[in-house]
Structure 1
Amino acid sequence: MYHSVGDSSDDPYRITVTPDRLERQLSWLRRRGLRGVSVAELLAARARGEGRDLVGLTFDDGYADFVTNALPVLESRDCTATLFVLPGRLGGDNAWDPLGPRKPLLSAEGIRQAADAGVEIGSHGLTHVDLTLADDSRLQAETAESRLLLEELTGCTVTGFCYPYGTVDRRAVDAVRAAGYGYACAIDPGAPSGPYTLPRVHVGQNDHAVRLFLKYRLHRLRRRPVEGLR
């Protein structure tokens, strides 16, 4: 789970990795015989009983630096990814983060550029709100409306959703499923997990080879149960 790729000197939420650090992290994967792909590609391979050499890479929020900084690194390492974007904030910034620098988000053209490069485009909701706190109308807009807008923007079917802040409960899961998504990404949702609560490991600037290995091995021990899914 990545977010922004750029200058990490002012990064209170630890959401930024530099292009050089991303390159080293992807090189570490490649040396281990692994290749970064979109979540859709990973799930399709696993459904066929394949894909043990694949790792799903995700980039949340749709920062403009994805196209300028992340995409060239991914392409240089023969990797792709899933980019979760906010169609209600096209060309805006990360106004939901009260601390730290304002980071510009991709415009419609930037999202199309990423899609044309083979990146899977998924929804991160319309505006980056906590779905567990949203009323019924907002929940519908954040899930179903965001999917329709992205399909219109890209001309591609949107099958992936990512819960803002990683917060998820039964109501949010049901809304995502009803909106027609095929899967949804959380962070550490605990057991049971399934296609609508896929766990992910956060990757940051300080994650070198040893930390990446330990995060992968220890992540399942940190997962928290999702309310209403037991």
Structure 2
Amino acid sequence: MYHSVSDSWDDPFNITVSAARLARQLAWLCGRGLRGVSMRELLAARAQGQERGLVGLTFDDGYADFVTTALPLLRHWHCGATVFVVAGRLGGENDWEVSGPRKRLLDADDIRRLAALGVEVASHGLTHSDLTCLPDDVLHAEVHGSRTLLAELTGQDIHGFCYPYGRFDARVGAVVHGAGYRYACAVASGPKSAGDLALPRIHIGQADTGMRLEVKRRLARPWGRAVEAS
């Protein structure tokens, strides 16, 4: 689970990885015979029993620096990724954060370009709101409306959803399921009954050197953060 890739050191929420650090992390990944892929590719491979050696890479919030900074590095290392876009704030800023730097978000043209390049574009809602706190009508708009908007922009089916702040409950999960998403990403593991609608992830930050990445890799299964064949 990544967010922003830039050289800004004003990072109160630990969401920023520098370009140099990301390059070293991808080199570490590939040097161990692993390959970063989108969640769509990872789950398709799992369905065929071929997920071994694949690591899902996700970038939350849809920061504009994904195009300018992260994407060239991913392509250099022959890696894919999923970008979870806040569909109602395209071309805007991360003004849901109460503090920290303002970062520009991908705009509609960026989304079209990413889709054309084969990058998986998926939904992070419309406004980056805590879905568990919303009334039913607003929740429906966040989940269904964001999928519709991104499908229109990309001309593709939108497979994935990501819960803002990683927060979800049974009501939110039911709406996500009803909207037609094939999977949804959280942070911590959800109940087993949630299945692919509560996929856990491991946060990756600036402090994650090779040694830390190796520890996180080895703990993925004990932590319940591995996507394995069911």
Bin of the TM-score, shorter chain as denominator length:
over 0.9
| Structure 2 residue identity aligned to 1:205 | Q
Contact 1:188 1:219 in 2 (8 A): no
- In structure 2, the partner of 1:210 is 211
Give runs of aligned pairs for residues 16-27 of structure 1, distance below 5 A: 16-27=16-27
Contact 1:8 1:205 in 2 (8 A): no
- In structure 2, the partner of 1:40 is 40
Alpha-carbon offset, residue 100 of structure 1:
0.7
2-structure distance, mates of 1:170, 1:141: 17
Alpha-carbon offset, residue 190 of structure 1:
4.3
- In structure 2, the partner of 1:116 is 116
Alpha-carbon offset, residue 191 of structure 1:
4.4
2-structure distance, mates of 1:222, 1:54: 18
| Structure 2 residue identity aligned to 1:60 | D
RMSD of Structure 2 on Structure 1 (CA): 1.5
Give runs of aligned pairs for residues 73-84 of structure 1, distance below 5 A: 73-84=73-84
1-structure distance, mates of 2:195, 2:99: 33
2-structure distance, mates of 1:52, 1:221: 17
What SS does the aligned partner of 1:195 have? Answer: helix
| Structure 1 residue identity aligned to 2:103 | K
2-structure distance, mates of 1:215, 1:191: 22
| Structure 2 residue identity aligned to 1:90 | L
Unpaired runs of at least 5, structure 1: 224-230
Alpha-carbon offset, residue 221 of structure 1:
5.4
CA change 1:27–1:12 in 2 (3 A) is: same
CA-to-aligned-CA distance 1:98-147 (integer Å, 9 cap, x gap)? 11100010100011111122110000000100011111011101101100
CA change 1:14–1:214 in 2 (3 A) is: same
Please identify runs of 4+ aligned residues in structure 1 that moved more than 4 A.
219-223
- In structure 2, the partner of 1:227 is none
- In structure 1, the partner of 2:227 is none
TM-score by length of 1: 0.94
Unpaired runs of at least 5, structure 2: 225-230
| Structure 2 residue identity aligned to 1:203 | I
- In structure 1, the partner of 2:189 is 189
- In structure 2, the partner of 1:226 is none
2-structure distance, mates of 1:8, 1:15: 11
- In structure 2, the partner of 1:65 is 65
2-structure distance, mates of 1:205, 1:31: 19
| Structure 1 residue identity aligned to 2:208 | D
1-structure distance, mates of 2:203, 2:142: 23
Contact 2:80 2:119 in 1 (8 A): yes
What SS does the aligned partner of 1:55 have? Answer: strand
Contact 1:190 1:220 in 2 (8 A): no
2-structure distance, mates of 1:31, 1:24: 10
- In structure 1, the partner of 2:228 is none
2-structure distance, mates of 1:152, 1:54: 30
- In structure 1, the partner of 2:166 is 166
- In structure 1, the partner of 2:129 is 129
1-structure distance, mates of 2:77, 2:219: 26
Deviates more, 1:191-200 or 1:17-26: 191-200
Alpha-carbon offset, residue 218 of structure 1:
3.2
TM-score by length of 2: 0.94
